[in-house]
Structure 1
Amino acid sequence: MERLNDVSCKVGESPTWHAGEGAWYWVDIPQQRVWRLDAATGATRYWVADEMVACVAPRSDGGLIAGMETGIFALELDACTALAQRKLAAPASGLGEGMRFNDGRCDRQGRFWSGTMFMDMAAARAVGQLYRYDTARGLSAPFVSELLTQNGLAFSPDGRTMYLSDSHPARRMVWAFDYDTTDGVPSNRRVFSDMTAMAGRPDGAAIDTDGCYWVCGNDDGCVLRFTPDGKLDRRLEVPMLKPAMCAFGGKNLDTLMVTSIISGKPEDAEWGGAVVLLQPGAQGVAETLFAA
């Protein structure tokens, strides 16, 4: 396991591998940072946005697409410290006070998906919604509503199954949907994994070539792998108490990056907020660039 020693995130989220650049990207939400790691040189750097960045995905025309506090944005990152951001879309009624986008990624066809959440998790307000964005149709109406803490978006290798979790302590659920790859519409929502009896909460996720769903067990210091039929078949221990999201990358897509959140607990003081790279003995599926 390799730790990126010069990186500490308050809320490290949304790791993603950009194969064309040979680089990893991820975000630190409250610090409004977009991080980058050059895999060849090991050099890290970050840019600071004008508002919180919750999730990112590479765009086919360069730069990133991001779910942020007030909407969906295109981000341009130059060689200096500047970050240019351009709003692409937002819900017609706005996100509302105390809301922001959270977890997000592209489907296998290059459409961007992201959901919203009420930032004060203690309030347990089920007002989060899940949206799709593409250049031809713009931002969709919500496909899923009444979410507490939207998370865990992932798509099966063939793109025909979409996964979604709610990581709030009061929900702890992962769902699967049938996914129409032509129209980008999910249907037939069903429980994939009920994690209410587990110590960890189902946070960010990734998919391997066997179609298994890898999800961070937030509060339990682990990454869990579920088979396509929802069976838990592996537990991978990590040193951070609150792993937040994982992603496959590297030249052979066999490296797993895991970001984390500072818990504030004494036993987590050394590793909380760390970003680690490890070899889990599995291979991921290449992410599709946003079809700009």
Structure 2
Amino acid sequence: MNAVSTAVATMFVRAGQTGCTLRWSKVHACWRWLDPARRQLYAWAPSFTAPVAARLLEGASLMASCASGGMLLGVGKRLGMLELPVPGQASRPLQTQVLVTIDAAEPRTGISDGCVDRAGNFVFGTANMARDQRPIGSFYQYSQRHGLRRLALPAVARAASIAFSPDGRRMYFADAAHGAIRQCDYDAEQARIGAITTFAELLAPGAGMAVTDSAAQLWSVQGGLLVQYGGDGQPLRQIALPCEAVSSVAFGGEGLEQLRILGALGGLYGLPGASAAGVADTLFLDNGSASSTSACAQR
């Protein structure tokens, strides 16, 4: 494995106080990320003079693009829908329309990580926000067809590293409080899990966001670093940012050949030389469609 590199990432812009959940928006051809501290949703593309901010009424830490053109947000214990303004247009503070409250009877938990599976369902997990860090977090699948369905995965202190193989049949996940990324068979239609095994050990404590590329390699945020794993779970390299910890990672741009890294302090960095292009985020099916055909292009 290569030594940790601090020189390969180049910063493009900085915005906000914190950064989390970087995504590429195909419909607006821009990068989007959240700043939960300032309750901001940022949009930026090289054609912009500066990142454009839309103010949220509540701080969100999780997002996914929707088939309708809107956005699904994770806010505390709730999933909600947000109608997006066109980047550059002035707007009032944006409020999410609540879809579902998660584990309402348990005040200690909150939504911690998630993404859309290859069939258009939102798969996410929760974390124990209390100091005791007991493993009371769970994993769920949410869709407008089936509602909220709990996945038969082990309880965790903090759900993290949720990602899917390019064909959607394998799910990756982790407990940020423990030392391994795990994998399992995944049936999106039935919300069914099988054959849970260890994919890879963490190289640094604290798992965060993860994403796969078209070669089924896993890019995992952990301990403030970005770690690239081969499809066999062997670590290929580690990447560190020069001035801040890594918070999120995403592929985007034309052909999904651009690998971008979001820093914990809101810096957006480019990493050249990714060995494979990315896989387009599937859109969350919020329009009542039972087919995932229209969800295969990213917005």
Taking structure 1 as the reference length, the TM-score comes to 0.85
User: Which residue in the other structure is 1:127 paired with?
Assistant: 136
Query: Is 1:208–2:208 an aligned residue pair?
Result: no
* Identity percentage of aligned residues: 25
Query: Is 1:30–2:37 an aligned residue pair?
Result: yes
User: Which residue in the other structure is 1:187 paired with?
Assistant: 194
Q: Equivalent residues in 2 for 1:221-260 (5 A)?
A: 222-260=225-263
Deviation at 1:239, TM superposition (A): 2.1
1:274 is aligned with what amino acid? G
Deviation at 1:39, TM superposition (A): 4.5
**SS state of the match for residue 252, structure 1?**
helix
**SS state of the match for residue 140, structure 1?**
strand
Taking structure 2 as the reference length, the TM-score comes to 0.83
Residues 214, 225 of structure 1: 8 Å contact kept: yes
How far, CA to CA, are the matches of 2:139 and 2:46 in structure 1? 32
Q: Output one character per residue of 1:122-171: Cα deviation in whole Å (capped at 9) or x when no partner.
A: 53232211111111111113543521121111111111111112222xx1
User: Which residue in the other structure is 1:154 paired with?
Assistant: 163
User: Which residue in the other structure is 2:150 paired with?
Assistant: 141
Residues 246, 258 of structure 1: 8 Å contact kept: yes
Structure 2 residue ranges without an equivalent (≥5): 1-8, 287-299
Measured at CA, do residues 112 and 240 of structure 1 come closer, stay the same or move farther in structure 2, by a change above 3 Å?
A: farther
Decide which structure has greater strand share: 1
Instruction: Give the aligned length.
Output: 273
How far, CA to CA, are the matches of 2:13 and 2:25 in structure 1? 21
Structure 1 residue ranges without an equivalent (≥5): 262-271
Q: Output one character per residue of 1:158-193: Cα deviation in whole Å (capped at 9) or x when no partner.
A: 11111112222xx13211011124434222211111
2:272 to 260, 276, 279: 279
How far, CA to CA, are the matches of 1:39 and 1:183 in structure 2? 41
Q: Equivalent residues in 2 for 1:46-57 (5 A)?
A: 46-57=53-64
User: Which residue in the other structure is 1:69 paired with?
Assistant: 76
1:116 to 109, 121, 126: 126
How far, CA to CA, are the matches of 2:37 and 2:107 in structure 1? 16
**Structure ranking higher on relative contact order (CA contacts 8 Å, 6+ apart):** 2
Structure 1 vs Structure 2 CA RMSD: 2.1
Deviation at 1:285, TM superposition (A): 0.6
1:202 is aligned with what amino acid? A
